[in-house]
Structure 1
Amino acid sequence: MASAAHTTRRVTITPLDEKVAVLEDVPRESQYALKFVGAAIANMASSAICNPTDIVKVRQQLRRQTPGAQGNAFWSVGVEMARKEGIMSLMGGLSASMVREVVYSGIRMGTYEYFKDKLHAMSKGALSREGLLLKIGAASIAATIGSALANPADLVKVRMQAYYPDGSPYRNMRHAFASIYQEGATLATSKGASTLAGGLGALYRGVEATTIRGIVLSATQICSYDQIKQSLKKRGMMQEGVPLHLVASAFAGLFCSITSNPVDVVKVRLMNDKKHEYKGTFDCVRQIMVKEGVFGFYKGFGMCWARLGTHTILTFLIFERIRYLFGIEAM
């Protein structure tokens, strides 16, 4: 009789229950490592798919004509690129983008729950797991670290995606890294400064804007996804699964596009500022405001939403699936 009962329980166990059971046998440190790997893979896959929209967005943000001008419409920029530079130009900067995602997104998304756990423990429960304050704090810390470390790869990606009338000066990603480092080292030498500091300074140009963007994007993207999922499940409106992941990620993609686009415009301008027209982040903000107006900060928004919205949906769908395959509970 006992044997029959035991058999019945085994038959009614669902695959998700089995995964949760496996989770209990996985050390917490290993779970964090797997989350980092899953986040990196998910973001790399999404970025590869969305690269054409990303490069069009960068080209739009680097243009300085009146916002809304027909020549700056995303379809015009995309068609012009395909016609003049070839269809493969839409995949420009892909190698640098992959490196960036491993560092930037692997850290900002892969360590989000690690910092949630740590902050919750440090506060001794004062910061509720259901509260936004804990989520925003965790996302901000993870994004700050990821953005700062990934700035060189991010800068190289922007440089490789920019338009050059006489053709790109970079043969590949390694050449781009070396060229940008050498530019900074040469400039530093002419001023009597350290070549190492000059080279690293060139690779870290725009790091303030990069970090601010990373914090803003992560705080809205990751936290809104987490909060929306939690609210929908708590109210019994949806259960854990692909439909819930799709709805939550769609809203998260819209929110983070709205909040991050202005900072993204500043970041792209600074990273591509070879002539040093801007004295820094705040000077760049001032010049855009004076010369292009408030809407200058929303150049490329349509493509930003198309790119970041799609990227967000794909990333969370893939990330949740990878977690399931790794035997890790849903985010």
Structure 2
Amino acid sequence: MANVAQAPLMTAPITTAPLEEKVAQLDGRKRAGKSKDYALKYVAACISNMTASGVSNPLDIIKVRQQLRTQAPGSRANAFWSVGVEMARTEGIRSMLGGFSASMLREIVYSGLRLGSYEFFKDTFYDMSKGALNREGLALKVSAAAVAATIGSALANPADLVKVRMQAYYPAGSPYRNMRHAFASIWQEGARATKSNSSVVGGLQALYRGVDATTVRGIVLSVSQICSYDQIKQTLKKKEIMEEGIGLHFTASMFAGLFCSITSNPVDVVKVRLMNDKAREFSGVTDCIRSIIRREGLGAFYKGFSMCWARLGTHTIVTFLIFERVRLLLGIEAM
């Protein structure tokens, strides 16, 4: 029997990717996954805040009307029920929806960014500090909330200003047909009033009037609201008083709503007065504060507080309940 020559077996060369390449691929996937999560958190923040704003809009417009009134402190005519009843009687129930479209636009820009990017900045600052900042500490949370709020407040100022103008009281009827007309009217108002030769500069100055007060308010509100919610929730879970769920979200958001109402109301009064100052009565934030103290006293800074608390408390509870729920539906871990 003839020997059959066996051909050597041909095997494909085995190649292995360098360890550095595998690590780079894993890091790339991890970053892509994180970026997707951050985008989804922004979407969840927009949905939750728009819903909360829609629910609390009647309270918001009453609060604005109270803050624009200049009666002596303690005047019963400025009580929230008096303002609400007067609005319903003289302007109709639909007046409670004043500035609704501008409010929705504001929430997409302002609240979407301040709440939606909060955890992005927390992660970024933690990585930048190389662990020096405690992930559970207040310093990291305050820093993240302040930066997120600064960006959101500054970008959303035009929508915020239009909302305030559309919610103010006008004896002869509102001069604004809709949000688009309000934007155009305020732009033209600024173009006419500017000392510059550029109408664009004047228009932008008009839309960004009160941006310093808006930004300060945004920082104060966001730090007290988001950080207190985060901290209270974390503490209750750590001490095993409550577990993750609707009960915990409701409790933490209820306290957060009270804290941010107390801290933000004085700044909110100044912001609303500046934004509605068509006659340029105030030269800036300091002048506005001085004028309020001189004419109305320190108590004026808490005008509209009951409505502010009712509105912000409601807004905060609805926001975080829906925010956490939408995160769950999108497959993102709880805040």
What TM-score results when the alignment is normalised by the length of structure 2? 0.90
Instruction: Work out which of the residue numbers 71, 88, 93 in structure 1 matches 2:94.
Output: 88
Cα pair 2:196 2:202 within 8 Å, conserved: no
Matched position secondary structure for 1:238: coil
What is aligned with 2:112? 106
Instruction: Work out which of the residue numbers 160, 164, 168 in structure 2 matches 1:158.
Output: 164
What is aligned with 2:329? 325
Instruction: Work out which of the residue numbers 204, 217, 221 in structure 2 matches 1:200.
Output: 204
Which one is further off, 281-290 or 97-106?
281-290
For residues 139 and 293 of structure 2, what CA distance do their matches in structure 1 show?
32
For residues 113 and 196 of structure 2, what CA distance do their matches in structure 1 show?
36
Instruction: Work out which of the residue numbers 275, 289, 292 in structure 1 matches 2:296.
Output: 292
* 2:314 is aligned with 1:310: yes
For residues 215 and 169 of structure 1, what CA distance do their matches in structure 2 show?
31
Cα offset, 1:66, TM superposition? 1.2
Matched position secondary structure for 1:168: coil
Instruction: Work out which of the residue numbers 146, 152, 155 in structure 2 matches 1:146.
Output: 152
Amino acid at match of 1:217: L
For residues 203 and 31 of structure 2, what CA distance do their matches in structure 1 show?
47
Instruction: Work out which of the residue numbers 68, 76, 85 in structure 2 matches 1:79.
Output: 85
For residues 218 and 54 of structure 1, what CA distance do their matches in structure 2 show?
17
Gaps of at least 5 residues in structure 2 are: 1-29
Cα offset, 1:186, TM superposition? 1.1
Instruction: Work out which of the residue numbers 38, 44, 61 in structure 2 matches 1:55.
Output: 61
Matched position secondary structure for 1:127: coil
**Deviations 1:42-72 (CA, angstroms, capped at 9, x unpaired):** 0000000100000000000000011221100
Alignment of 1:213-292 (within 5 A): 213-292=217-296
Gaps of at least 5 residues in structure 1 are: 1-23
For residues 286 and 198 of structure 2, what CA distance do their matches in structure 1 show?
26
Cα offset, 1:193, TM superposition? 2.9
The structure with the largest alpha-carbon Rg is 2
What is aligned with 2:9? none
What is aligned with 1:20? none
Cα offset, 1:259, TM superposition? 0.1
* 2:188 is aligned with 1:182: yes
Cα offset, 1:134, TM superposition? 0.3
What is aligned with 1:3? none
What is aligned with 1:9? none
Cα pair 2:149 2:218 within 8 Å, conserved: yes
Matched position secondary structure for 1:27: helix
What is aligned with 2:177? 171
For residues 150 and 221 of structure 2, what CA distance do their matches in structure 1 show?
11
Closer, same or farther: CA 110–274 of 1 in aligned 2, 3 Å: same
**How many pairs align?**
306
For residues 230 and 48 of structure 1, what CA distance do their matches in structure 2 show?
29
| Runs of at least 4 residues off by over 4 Å | none
For residues 182 and 124 of structure 1, what CA distance do their matches in structure 2 show?
50
Cα offset, 1:282, TM superposition? 0.7
Matched position secondary structure for 1:198: helix
For residues 73 and 168 of structure 2, what CA distance do their matches in structure 1 show?
19
Amino acid at match of 2:172: D
Matched position secondary structure for 1:169: coil
Q: Percent identity?
A: 71
Cα offset, 1:202, TM superposition? 0.1
What is aligned with 1:117? 123
Which one is further off, 114-123 or 25-34?
25-34
Closer, same or farther: CA 113–192 of 1 in aligned 2, 3 Å: closer
Q: CA RMSD in A?
A: 1.1
Cα offset, 1:294, TM superposition? 1.0
Cα offset, 1:25, TM superposition? 11
Cα offset, 1:290, TM superposition? 1.4
Amino acid at match of 1:69: S
Amino acid at match of 2:98: G
What is aligned with 1:4? none
Amino acid at match of 1:245: H
